[in-house]
Amino acid sequence: MTPIQITYPNMMVILPEVVLSCWVFFMMMADLFIPKEKKEINAVLGLIGLAVTAVSVFMVLSYGDISSFNDSMRSDRFALFFKLLFIITAALAILISAKYIAIEGVNWGEYYSILLFSVVGMMVLVSATDLVTVYLGMEFMALSIYVLTGFIRHDVRSNEAALKYFLLGAFSSGLILYGMVLLYGVTGSTNVYKIANFLAANDNYSNPLMIASVILLISGFAFKIAAVPFHMWAPDAYEGAPTSITAFMSVGPKAASFAALLRVFLVALPVMKPHWVAIFWGVSAISMVVGNVVAVAQTNIKRMLAYSGIGHAGYILMGVIAGTRMGVASVLLYMLVYIFMSIGAFSVIILLRKTGVKGDEIKDFSGFARRYPSLGLCMLIFLISLIGLPPTAGFIGKLYLFAAAVEAEYYYLAVIGVLMSVVSLFYYMQVAKTMYIDEEIEGQELVPSRALTFVVYFCAAATLLIGMFPDGFISAAMAAVLPI
Amino acid sequence: MINYAWLIPLFPTIAAIINGLFGRKYMRHHYSDYIATGAVMTSFLISLVIFFEVVSGSTLNVNYWDWIVSGDLHVSFGFLIDPLTAIMLLVVTGISSLVHLYSIGYMHDDDGYYRFFTYLSMFTVSMLILIMGNNYLLMFFGWEGVGLCSYLLIGFWFEKKSAGDAAKKAFVVNRVGDLGFVLGLFLLISQLGTLDYEQVFQLAPIHLTTGVATAITLLLFVGATAKSAQIPLYTWLPDAMEGPTPVSALIHAATMVTAGVYMVARSHVIYSMSPTTMEIVAVVGAITALFAATIAIAQNDIKRIVAYSTVSQLGYMFMGLGLGAYTAGVYHLFTHAFFKACLFLGCGSVIHALSGEQDIRRMGGLFPHIKLTAITFLIAALANAGIFPFAGFFSKDEILWAAFSGGHYVIWGIGATAAFCSAFYMFRLYFVAFTGESRVDHHVAHHIHESPSVMTGPLVLLAFLAATVGALALPPGNGFIHHFLGNVFGHHEHNVTGIAAEFFHKFSALVTGEPTAHGHLLEYFMMLVSLAIALSGIGLAYLMYYKKVEALNPEVLAVRFRLIYRAFLNKYWVDELYDFLFVNPIKRAGQGLWDFDGKIIDGTVNGVSRLTLIKGEITNFLDKYVVDGTVNGLAIFVDFKSRILRRTQTGDVQNYALVMLFGVVFVMGIYYFY
């Protein structure tokens, strides 16, 4: 074993992480001086922090692809693309939270700090090029999310969700670690590039240890992206968590995990591709089927969206399986698209949250669009986008995913995907039907929050915008593709 | 024959396996005992042959196979047979055979007959490995093995709460000691890189500084204080009397509790390097000897008296070891094994005769009814009291002599006082239980009967040995035992002469005109002194409990010396002290965690599942989970979940984790088998 070379690290690589971390520490201290009834100031501070971080991301962008910390962290367009996604996601999540957590009675400053800490974890995760930093980022992200899931301390459902998520998350971390350990055992390194070099030079294709390692890594990642059969936590966690956090975790951690998954499998393990493609194929297919079919039976809209999210994980995996530039670009593009339609949909759910009423049952939407036509229209846009119909962003995203799968000749997978999109039409339209056709019900009042309505309109606009003028976004995604 | 030493532990192993696996189903009664007893007797015969071979000068040190190889550490499975092991072999297999035999009668009607013999065989194997191993790890293996068997046998009647508690206590206290023992072994490994006796004893004088040797020996001694019931970890032994009486005789008197003594004797090379440890061992031994002897004076349970007597006698052994008189210590182990086993088996016989009565206040006048038991008990009691020419006299006296001649007058004083107490409590027990008027319960009195010959046989044999093995130490300081064990301990034996002895030598030289020829004169004189001490102890017991002299009425004395009596009776409140200091705080902490678990975590989980249930009913549970799920065919997991949830009400995280695990196993299965 060669001794570890310690050189002065290039701090630019982790500049966004550093900036955001420092900002969060500042926020935590500032929180002490913010009176109880004005905790919204934290939200403003958080937004400012995210803006500063966004600036730092663009600064780093001009440095091109840089690695440091013994090649364990890498700042390239791929990572920066995701970091921007996280900033957008977190900003939207903060905007929809401010009023919501006050209604839930958990208006505490650390909410924002923990949320931003999880963003730091995600940023580490997407920059990680070493299994150790991958794990570090993943745990950092996950631990913050566990806390946020159980943030409504007095609500037994929230506690349950957090406990389940935590226990199963710990379990999946174990799986990932085993996979990493085996990988290290075979290749003698934890660095993704060194692993790739070793595997290219030494034939380990049929080494049972390598196969076990691949299976365990897939299991761990499949948990993070909530793919079948590692999805069991998602419906409970989505349902129990504060809705703003559900919105956040349906996008942020999922995107970060996909990024890490792409890096580990495409950069470190291209040699093993036939193995992991075979497994991912199965996971993808079964996720699309289970997610969409079970969603049909749900009456709780958060649960329904959880199952729909499982289905979406299956769709997105198609891009990973294709493994081409096109495939990776389609994953990136879909993550971008998914942010707006998912957070948008959850924002509408939060709009219906009032003290004493959860507003997360599908029947709570009865007549919603008739009473609030413009917001109803926004919700319709999100639903159509989630189904994947033009002229919305969801259509563009799915189009590229399916195209990548077809291009890489995974026809069956594409067929399953299309069929399941048809199934999803049924349950999404169920909601639309409830909104437009069912009788209005009493007490359907909105949360009086301009930030929240702004997010709804903004997301709807973004969904339509990407759907109608996708070129810029597609080329941004293509530019951020990992070098394969 | 010595090359076939591995046969010795083999036979009981086979017996344990047969009885353990097939005992319950295929051997109702009277097969398991034949197998176990036959096996251990065969082992005894081999041991006897080997003993004579060792006497004629052969030894054995052989590694059979590599047990643990890790980096530089190399531990073999191998046996060492030298005079020390040979004498231990005799004790272990001999007493074990007799106890097996005795148990055939004593345990006759017990449902766990096969289980009892399985444990006994297991114990014998473990003990044999402990004494035969040629490295510390094998010793530790045996050490833990006997601990486990002791636990199983103390709690043999586990349906009795007191037995279960006593077993737990023994186990936990021994864990404390084991921690010390293990740390000692780690230190040995880190300092010498080996656990093999031969290498350790070769390397230790060269590589170990006195400080490190002190640390190692003290840590090992912590293990010994637990296993051999010394202060401060002796409290488990009296409670261990909850086990069947043959077990008390074999494990908690004759063999297992002497493991600590054996360990110190075996490690004498390292122990001799540290004067500090030696001093501590001697002082702990002496104090334990007196402490336990005084407690024994006030006890009324026949087995407990003998149990405290055991603690006290073990104290003597450590006293001898600590003074550097290794031979004397091991010799006392040897003699003690016989007379204490005899005492315990005698207790068993008494209890058997009285249908389970253990309180000496409800005995009395037993002598005419159970003559054989009474006579053997008397012989063993005389040996325990240290009366010439019974075995205990020689070994105990040698320890006291080592203290006196070495100039440790305080230790000698403590030992002598303890000897007085020993004689007193032993004969208090004897006079109260066997002589005088019968205070036996009427219902029991009808069928007082002598035990069957399978029980009295071992008693007679042990009493005979208790009376005669003292001859091995004749002439004093120069007998067979000294030459035999001298091969092992050699120059490590301590021979410092104290001032009084010096003075006496000069005095006798002055009187007789010969400088040192009559060095033994003082030794003979001190023998007379200790004999007088023992006799006076018996005399006091005689006056108090046989003659019942009014001035010495025990009850009056108990009132007059209330505080002292209560201290003795309540065992100096040490159990209460430990409860207060360690047991209760730990229990409270555990209770706290349990409450937390019960109220908060379970409460949450139960609350959640209950909530889910209610909610499920309200929101058309069936529609949500079962009907639609089944209709869709693919919602099996959901259905599964709802069923599990309803059944267990504990939340279903495990179920989720199980599904994840199934996923992994499923994919792996496809890969590896398809």
A69-73, A396-400, B57-61 — most confident range = A396-400
Chain B residues near residue A297 by CB distance under 8 angstroms: 624-625, 628-629, 632, 635, 638
The A residues from 259 to 298 touching B (CB cutoff 8 Å) are: 275, 279, 282, 289-290, 293-294, 296-298
Q: What is the pLDDT of residues B184-193, one digit of tens each?
A: 999 998 888 8
Please state, as a whole number, how many other Cβ atoms lie within 10 Å of the Cβ of residue B340.
Answer: 30
Query: Which burial class, exposed, middle or buried, applies to B379 when counting CB atoms under 10 A from its CB (0-12, 13-18, 19+)?
Result: buried
Chain A residues near residue B632 by CB distance under 8 angstroms: 293-294, 296-297
User: Residue B657 corresponds to which amino acid?
Assistant: A
3-state SS class at A432: helix
pLDDT category at B519 given cuts 50, 70, 90 is low
Spatial contact of B423 and B396, defined as CB atoms under 8 Å apart = no
Residue B537 has pLDDT above 60, yes or no: yes
Task: Name the average pLDDT for chain B.
Answer: 82
* Predicted local confidence at residue A231, as pLDDT: 86
CA–CA gap between residue B21 and residue B115 (Å, rounded): 10
Q: What number of CA atoms fall less than 13 Å from residue B263's CA on the CB side?
A: 35
3-state SS class at B182: helix
Query: Which burial class, exposed, middle or buried, applies to A194 when counting CB atoms under 10 A from its CB (0-12, 13-18, 19+)?
Result: middle
Spatial contact of A450 and A309, defined as CB atoms under 8 Å apart = no
ipTM over 0.85: no
Please state the separation of Cα B471 from the chain's center in Å.
Answer: 26
Which single residue is written with the structure tokens 């969060």? A24
- Please tell me which of the candidates A160, A222, A290 has its beta carbon nearest to residue B608: A160
Contact of A174 with chain B, judged by CB distance below 8 Å, is answered with no
Q: What is the pLDDT of residues A363-384, one digit of tens each?
A: 888 888 888 899 999 999 999 9
Give me the residues paired with residue A68 across strands: A73
CA–CA gap between residue B33 and residue A98 (Å, rounded): 79
pLDDT category at B517 given cuts 50, 70, 90 is very low
The DSSP element (H or E) to which A182 belongs, if any, is helix A156-187
Return the closest-CA partner of residue B40 out of B106, B104, B84, B85: B104
* Predicted local confidence at residue B543, as pLDDT: 84
The reply to whether residue A294 touches residue B653, judged by beta carbons under 8 angstroms, is no
* Predicted local confidence at residue B28, as pLDDT: 61
Kindly state the average pLDDT of the residues B30-53: 88
Contact of A215 with chain B, judged by CB distance below 8 Å, is answered with yes
Write phi, then psi, for B168 (nearest 5 degrees). -65, -40
- Specify the DSSP class assigned to residue B63: E
Task: Name the average pLDDT for chain A.
Answer: 90
CA distances, B129 to each of B5, B100, B126, B148 (Å): 11, 19, 5, 14
User: Residue B377 corresponds to which amino acid?
Assistant: F
Q: What is the pLDDT of residues A263-321, one digit of tens each?
A: 999 999 999 999 999 999 999 999 999 899 888 888 889 989 999 999 999 999 999 99
Return the closest-CA partner of residue B39 out of B105, B153, B120, B142: B120
The DSSP element (H or E) to which B225 belongs, if any, is helix B210-227
The reply to whether residue A215 touches residue B667, judged by beta carbons under 8 angstroms, is yes
User: Residue A330 corresponds to which amino acid?
Assistant: S
Chain A residues near residue B653 by CB distance under 8 angstroms: 163-164, 167-168
Contact of B668 with chain A, judged by CB distance below 8 Å, is answered with yes
Kindly state the average pLDDT of the residues B276-304: 89
Write phi, then psi, for B513 (nearest 5 degrees). 85, -5
Kindly state the average pLDDT of the residues A125-129: 94
Kindly state the average pLDDT of the residues B146-166: 88
Question: What's the whole-model pTM score?
Answer: 0.57
The reply to whether residue B624 touches residue A289, judged by beta carbons under 8 angstroms, is no
Q: What is the pLDDT of residues B644-674, one digit of tens each?
A: 433 433 446 777 777 788 888 888 887 777 6
A229 cis-preceded (ω within 30 degrees of 0): yes
What is the C-alpha end-to-end distance of chain B, expressed in Å? 56
Spatial contact of A117 and A141, defined as CB atoms under 8 Å apart = no
Q: What is the pLDDT of residues A385-443, one digit of tens each?
A: 999 988 899 999 999 999 999 999 999 999 999 889 888 988 999 899 998 888 888 77
Please state the separation of Cα B151 from the chain's center in Å.
Answer: 11
- Specify the DSSP class assigned to residue B622: I
Contact of A208 with chain B, judged by CB distance below 8 Å, is answered with yes
The reply to whether residue A215 touches residue B671, judged by beta carbons under 8 angstroms, is yes
The DSSP element (H or E) to which B64 belongs, if any, is strand B60-70
